[in-house]
Amino acid sequence: MANVSGQHWNRSDECWSSLLSCRYFAELTRLATTQLAGENALGYLEIETDSDLKGVGWSFSNGLGNDVLCTAIRSLAPRLVGRKLSDFTSDMASTQRKFQSGQIRFMSPERGVVQLATCAVLNSIWDLWAKAEGKPLWRLVCDFTPEQIAACIDFRYITDALTREAALEMLKKQAKTKGERIRLAEQSKAVPAYNTSVGWLGHSDDEVRTKLNAAAKQGFRHFKLKAGQGVENDRKRLGMVREVVGEEAILMVDVNQLWDVDEAIEYMPKLADLKLWFIEEPTSPDDVLGHAKIRKALKPHGIGVATGEHVNNRVMFKQLLQAEALDAVQLDACRLASVNEILAVLLLSAKFGVPVVPHSGGAGMVELCSHISTIDFVVVSGKQSILEFTDHGHDAFEAPATITSDAFHATPTVPGYSCDVKTVEFDKFECPNGSFWQSAQGRKMLEDPWRGVLGEQTS
């Protein structure tokens, strides 16, 4: 395996990572994003070093169960202790594999909560690496040579679709022109934003109309709405969007795994005249062939299929792409094994010619994904794609994601992976000792085993 240290390694060589703590906080969501009561929670890891740098990594959860995520992080994070940062970064592909190896693999290899925990731990390494180099993460990666990027990827299980040699060839081709795209990124012209804040089911029609007008004025041209609430209901909402933003706007809908395969095939053509780019998560995220069947059936109606926010690893994305099941790859920066595996999925998507439209619907996800989409544009696909901008939770972060006046994501400038959460958030939301969780409402929620289950929740 090639060594990626060399020129990308300087002042942090003397620092080594010693585990400080593994702590987490849960933050109440500020929006009812679906009919269920969702929360925004992070399994949060800080690694302290013998320099003044801290590496921060986290993975996202929806509230209840975040303690399970944190337990999984506590199982893996001690592997960092007593090592130099360069022990990990000198061969990132092996680092990923090491964190996914051993007895922990029995817990379900490269899937589920252990995969989320692996992501948090690897994110802390990437964050520390970028901070040590004094660069935002996207720039760290975009300054790599094609060989150095390829050396971060574990190609095991995907070589039947993408070999290291083929990936290198793709990366070398894009490297020739990456300078112009870096300039665009520096001007925050790399990643157009799409808007989902208009479309949550918790909003009234008036609220949707007001938000739409504001978003259209801000320059948004892509909108995604929750759907699956009955054809008439969906037609009314989507028609409202068409009326406010016009025929040129790109519309997408999301039903969060609502249907059986054949239900999706029956329902969606009834919305075809509204000209939808894609239906997101029409069915179980595990159903590769089901997605392929839906895509084939909806193609004559001009509706595409997208999924990815619950796709656990590069192998499933490989299969979805091989089965021609997708029109957009919606990878989630916390569902995959950090930047390592994200690079593999970006390359697979580019190989199959499918755009990457990352999922970033939870607090902190836009912060991470603005790095990822920039990397895709500059060094992998070379093409602009859109990235979700959800307008909540950003004030919890030290380097919050923002959008420009013409609806592009502002390219991150602060060194690191934009993971750092403000200290004041821990005072309030660290579970169970933060002031919120010690309040009457917080204690009631902690005692409620049915949080988020419609009709059963008591808090």
Distance of closest approach, residue 194 Cβ to Mg ion, in angstroms: 12
Letters for 253-292 (x = contact with Mg ion by CB under 5 A, - = none) are -x--------------------------------------
Tell me which residue of 28, 55, 35, 60 sits closest to 360, measured CA to CA.
60
When CB distances to Mg ion are compared, the closest residue is: 254
Rounded CA gap, 96 and 152, in Å? 8
Catalytic residue IDs: 226, 359
* Residue 293: CB minimum distance to Mg ion, A: 20
Local structure of 60: helix, strand or coil: strand
- Give me the 50-89 binding string for Mg ion, x by CB under 5 A, dash otherwise: ----------------------------------------
CB atoms within 10 A of CB 252: 24
Token output for 362: 């939870």
Return the number of the residue (57 or 361) whose C-beta is nearest Mg ion.
Answer: 361
d(CA 429, CA 421) in angstroms, rounded, equals: 11
Under 8 Å between Cβ of 136 and 100: no
* Burial class of residue 441, CB neighbours in 10 A (0-12, 13-18, 19+): exposed
Chain centre distance of CA 73:
18
* Minimum distance, C-beta of residue 359 to Mg ion, in the bound complex (Å): 6
430 touches Mg ion (CB under 5 A): no
The CA distance from 70 to 64, in Å, is 12
| Shortest CB 281 distance to Mg ion, Å | 5
State in angstroms the smallest separation of the CB of 388 from Mg ion.
9
Nearer to Mg ion (CB atom), residue 362 or residue 415:
362
Q: Is the dihedral of CA 350, 352, 353, 359 positive or negative?
A: negative
CA–CA gap between residue 301 and residue 272 (Å, rounded): 6
Q: Which is nearer to Mg ion, 104 or 258 (CB)?
A: 258
| Contact residues for 438 (Cβ-Cβ < 8 A; gap 6+) | 432
Query: Is the Cβ of residue 91 or residue 254 nearer to Mg ion in the bound state?
Result: 254
Strand order of the β-sheet with 328-329 is 328-329, 304-307, 276-280, 250-254, 222-226, 193-195, 387-389
Q: Give the number of residues in contact with Mg ion, rule: CB under 5 A.
A: 1
User: Residue 328 CB, nearest distance to Mg ion (Å)?
Assistant: 11
Spell out, one character per residue from 299 to 318, where the chain touches Mg ion: x when CB under 5 A holds, - when not. Answer: --------------------
Distance CA(104)–CA(95), nearest Å, equals 15
Name residues contacting Mg ion, limited to 218-257 (CB under 5 A): 254
- Would you say 259 or 437 has its CB closer to Mg ion? 259
> Please, which residue, 309 or 367, has the CB nearer to Mg ion?
309
Using the minimum distance from each CB to Mg ion, give the nearer residue, 135 or 226: 226
CB of 310 to Mg ion, least distance (A): 9
Question: Binders of Mg ion among 339-358, rule CB under 5 A?
Answer: none
Burial class from Cβ neighbours inside 10 Å (0-12, 13-18, 19+) for residue 106 reads exposed
As a whole number of angstroms, the distance between CA 93 and CA 318 comes to: 18
- Strands 193-195 and 387-389, bridge-based pairing: parallel
Which residues are near Mg ion by CB under 5 A?
254
